[in-house]
Structure 1
Amino acid sequence: MSTALVTGATAGIGRAFARRLAAEGYDLVLVARDSERLASLAEYLGDRYGTVAERLPADLTRDEELAEVERRLGDATRPIDLLVNNAGFGTSGAFWDTDPETLRQQVDLNVTAVLRLTRAVVPVMRDFGRGDVINLSSVAGFFAMSGSTYSATKAYVTTFSEGLSAALADTGVRVMALCPGFTRTEFHQRAQLEMSSLPKAFWLDADTLVHEALRDLRRGRTVSIPGAQYKAVVALGKLIPNRLQRFVVSHAAPGRT
């Protein structure tokens, strides 16, 4: 029986991953801050799919709680076959108006937790000669956004994942950056982003996104960009001069840091 660990598992893309992997027969280690929502999800997955779901409540911006998840990932007696580094957050407003502690927590969750949890599991996967890591990035990571910090964290995740994937070639361990665009989840509400003006064509469905991501992983892709519209956006962005790209993005995208 294969086991997957999913961070940010109780909502949005993380919850969609948990449901899909349970349906595929994975046992799960569910990581999130909210113990009650973790318990509810674990019960649902057990009742619906017969999945064994281990609950691991943790705030990954707190060092001691992040270390608990690292220890679970590094336990070779209970190996993790698939790590989904999904937890992350964005914020609204200008960089200079955002609380420095919020910015620190954003980097801790979006960057440091991804780095440390991947580092914890990869040695075990290499020893077993198999394993997969999916790191949640974003289409925003391909562009210099007007709100700089979120896109910067996601640019790191994509570049980190691509480099690690190359380093792990021929080991049996696969690493992929998943780069979705706007997806119907709690993300934008939590970030206090006003999204009512975004055309319907640019919204992605979380379950469809997860289906495409797992398909790309199993095809050996290093970067997955779900949705034809976002594949086109990224491809077009590579053709536009940086100065024009920055102008278009800063005027078209909702503000975030």
Structure 2
Amino acid sequence: MKRPVALITGATSGLGAEFAQQLGRSRHDLVLVARDVERLEAKAVRLRSDFGVAVEVLPADLTTDHGVAAVSARLTDPVQPVSVLVNNAGFSLVKAFEKNTVEDEVAHLRILARTPMELMHAVLPGMLVRGHGRIINVSSVSAFIPRGSYGAAKAWVTSFSRSANLRYGPQGVKVTAVCPGFVHTEFHQRMGADTGGVKPWMWLNAEPVVREGLTDNAAGKAVSIPSKRYTVLMALSRLVPDKVAAAVGNRGR
């Protein structure tokens, strides 16, 4: 029997690389999507060697129509259908909204919200015909607190994931928004953020974040908040003033 195929965006580092690792370990063939061809090829070699699975590389800039079209074409391939879609690619802007160019904000909104929507729209019809599929949208606890345009985009992703899971879960397609807090990855370094104000206990490791996200998705949960500490924090955030919640969320900028 053919192994299931998982397509992961932003697959060369951080949570995307960890999703590739864990899905490869669980005997999924993989399609890795990112912009950096050399890192994609290096990651593919390691995964093939470690797990004996087939690994495709698909270089694409998901802030562009051309890049999204290339990935959408792979998602709609009926010969090698994709069973698992992980929308992980993304970045954040370190400066306040009014200090960014509108072009930067548009690219930011595109990669965080429009691109996942387009890729979901591409993969869903085939999954529904087959009667099974899994979609994981990497969101953030920023979806639940005032956190500028980043939090607003992640709120959209989380809300849409909840709606999609309600609609498509009974048809065999499970949709989950995975909403971690601060995670030890390249994310903050690449955005040039100062993480000195982030308390040590607020940091999570990628491995348990991904493991919990995959487990919650398999269980049909629409929202996954990895770790008990962040589950408690998000519950408390509903009880404190927005100004307080925003102050916590804006650490690491």
Aligned mates of 1:35, 1:220 — CA distance in 2: 34
Shift of 1:247: 1.0
Report whether the alignment pairs 1:12 with 2:14.
Answer: yes
Corresponding residue for residue 205 of structure 1: 205
Match of 1:168, SS state, is helix
Match of 1:15, SS state, is helix
Report whether the alignment pairs 1:248 with 2:250.
Answer: no
Corresponding residue for residue 57 of structure 1: 59
Corresponding residue for residue 94 of structure 1: 96
Shift of 1:253: 3.3
Aligned mates of 1:169, 1:39 — CA distance in 2: 34
* Mapped contact 2:169–2:220 kept (Cα < 8 A): no
Q: How does 1:217-232 map to 2 (within 5 A)?
A: 217-232=217-232
Q: Which amino acid is the alignment partner of residue 49 of structure 1?
A: F
Shift of 1:249: 2.4
Match of 2:89, SS state, is coil
Q: Which deviates further from its counterpart, 215-224 or 1-10?
A: 215-224
Q: Deviations over 1:143-182 (max 9, x none)?
A: 112xx10000000000010011111132111101000100
Q: How many residues end up aligned between the 2 structures?
A: 251
TM-score (norm 1): 0.95
Q: Which amino acid is the alignment partner of residue 183 of structure 1?
A: V
Structure 1 stretches lacking a partner, 5+ long:
none
Aligned mates of 1:136, 1:169 — CA distance in 2: 18
Aligned mates of 2:250, 2:118 — CA distance in 1: 30
Report whether the alignment pairs 1:164 with 2:160.
Answer: no
Structure 1 vs Structure 2 CA RMSD: 1.2
Structure 2 stretches lacking a partner, 5+ long:
none
Aligned mates of 1:95, 1:82 — CA distance in 2: 34
Shift of 1:252: 2.8
Q: Which amino acid is the alignment partner of residue 123 of structure 1?
A: P
Aligned mates of 1:192, 1:110 — CA distance in 2: 18
Aligned mates of 2:56, 2:86 — CA distance in 1: 15
Corresponding residue for residue 118 of structure 2: 116
Shift of 1:255: 5.8
Q: Which amino acid is the alignment partner of residue 228 of structure 1?
A: K
Q: Which deviates further from its counterpart, 11-20 or 215-224?
A: 215-224
Match of 2:177, SS state, is strand
Shift of 1:256: 7.7
Report whether the alignment pairs 1:186 with 2:182.
Answer: no
CA gap of 1:57–1:166, structure 2 versus 1, over 3 A, is same
Match of 1:126 among 101, 125, 128: 128
Q: Which deviates further from its counterpart, 90-99 or 119-128?
A: 90-99
* Mapped contact 2:184–2:206 kept (Cα < 8 A): yes
Aligned mates of 1:168, 1:188 — CA distance in 2: 34
Match of 2:58, SS state, is strand
Corresponding residue for residue 27 of structure 1: 29
Q: Which amino acid is the alignment partner of residue 54 of structure 1?
A: E
Corresponding residue for residue 236 of structure 1: 236
Aligned mates of 2:197, 2:138 — CA distance in 1: 25
Match of 1:115, SS state, is helix
With CA pairs under 8 Å and 6+ residues apart, which has the higher RCO, 1 or 2? 1
Aligned mates of 2:252, 2:120 — CA distance in 1: 27
* Mapped contact 2:196–2:252 kept (Cα < 8 A): no
Q: Which amino acid is the alignment partner of residue 204 of structure 2?
A: L
Q: Deviations over 1:94-151 (max 9, x none)?
A: 1111121111110110011100000000100000000000001100000112xx1000
Corresponding residue for residue 138 of structure 2: 136
* Mapped contact 1:93–1:256 kept (Cα < 8 A): no
Match of 1:56, SS state, is strand
